Chain A
Amino acid sequence: MKDPRTSFWLGIGFLLVFLLALGHSALNPPHRDISAEKPDYVLSAQALSKAMGDPQTAMAYGDKVIQVGGRILFVQGIRLELEHGIIVILSDAPMVWPEVGDSILLKARCVGYDQLLEEVRLDRASIVKND
């Protein structure tokens, strides 16, 4: 039979480990999985470009999940450029690589509007549909 004091200290030990693990997970939450989130906005590349070009309306899109569709103008690895100045960074290499001229539907996080190059920046993107 176990010593009650040993059981007590074992219990305290387990409780401490549990609390430490809880604290650690609370202080180190995982990064957002944009592909698993529902889009906050669904719009075309043209509509997104227009909205982001105006600082007043652009504020609403910052850090939001955007589902955007448009034609691909340029592909460089996981970096795509859609029509109307939409720059997209894919979160992972896709199973089937998109090509210039494809009409694509993407879900991504809106990083913001680059006034220097007049581009909308999206990252952590995943391909929803590629025609």
Chain B
Amino acid sequence: MENFKKMVSRSLVMGYTLGLLSLAMGHAQMYVDRQGVVVFEASEQLFEPVKAKNGAVSVLFDASDQTLASLALMRGFEFENALMQEHFNENYIESDRYPKAMFTGKILDFDPAMAGGGPREYTIKGRLEIRGVAREIQPRVLIQKNGEILSLHGSFKLRPQDFNIEIPGIVANKIAKEVLVTLDFKLKEDERP
């Protein structure tokens, strides 16, 4: 009877410890960036730059299965020209109806444990949803781990018509047919209490 009590007690302690360990490991494998930077540019030569930056993009990366999710609020894109920003939100994106752009995907062949040293190129395969239209994309990105920070930098091109974004004829020659999107994420463990 005494041995049985000891066994149960040891099992409980071991179970508790394993539970805590798995919780701690699970927490350590999530990386977050609340201030990810996304810049897009659709400028044409000789015309005013069509460029905007969002410095408050959310990014979550689960290192256990290399899945990555990112959300950019469309009203968070800042243009130099206030009128351009208004047209972007009201006419092109319709930010009230479609307030966010969302990406979910997976970094292929990526092992965070091997990400130290210099930056290496990887492919992220996933779905980008803008204005309620989802498209498969596979951007190439450079990833580097510096201490606890996982830096992800890359760019890719999009075509507005692929997301049902209509550019009126009167400004069509002032906006590039392909939009260059640049990413700069610094993922780290959540520091909030």
Contact = CB atoms under 8 A, between A and B. Distances in A.
Contact of B56 (A31, A73, A123): A123
Contact of B95 (A29, A31, A63): A63
B188 to A, nearest CB: 12
B99 to A, nearest CB: 5
Contacts of B58: 114, 116-117, 119
Interface string B90-104: 000001110110100
A27 B32 CA distance: 39
A113 B192 CA distance: 19
Interface in A95-118: 111-117
A129 interface: no
A34 B100 CA distance: 22
Nearest to A89: B56
A79 B82 contact: no
Most chain B CB neighbours (cut-off 10 Å) among A29, A59, A79, A114: A114
Interface in B37-83: 56, 58, 60, 69-71, 73-76, 81-83
A117 B96 contact: no
Contacts of B193: 73-74
A31 B82 CA distance: 5
A6 B74 CA distance: 53
A123 B55 CA distance: 11
A123 B76 contact: yes
A123 B32 CA distance: 20
Contacts of A30: 82
B131 interface: no
Contacts of B97: 59
A91 B102 CA distance: 26
A32 B83 CA distance: 11
Most buried by B among A73, A74, A115: A115
Nearest to B81: A28
A121 interface: yes
A82 to B, nearest CB: 12
A116 B96 contact: no
Given A29-B83, A31-B82, A87-B34, A112 B70 contact: no
Contacts of A79: 35
A115 B81 contact: no
A116 B71 contact: yes
B89 interface: yes
A87 B95 CA distance: 19
A113 B100 CA distance: 9
Interface of B: 32, 34-35, 56, 58, 60, 69-71, 73-76, 81-83, 85, 89, 95-97, 99-100, 102, 192-193
Interface of A: 27-32, 58-59, 62-63, 73-74, 79, 81, 87, 89, 111-117, 119, 121, 123
The list of the 9 closest CB pairs from A to B, nearest first, reads: A112-B73, A116-B71, A31-B82, A112-B99, A116-B58, A111-B75, A111-B73, A111-B76, A117-B58
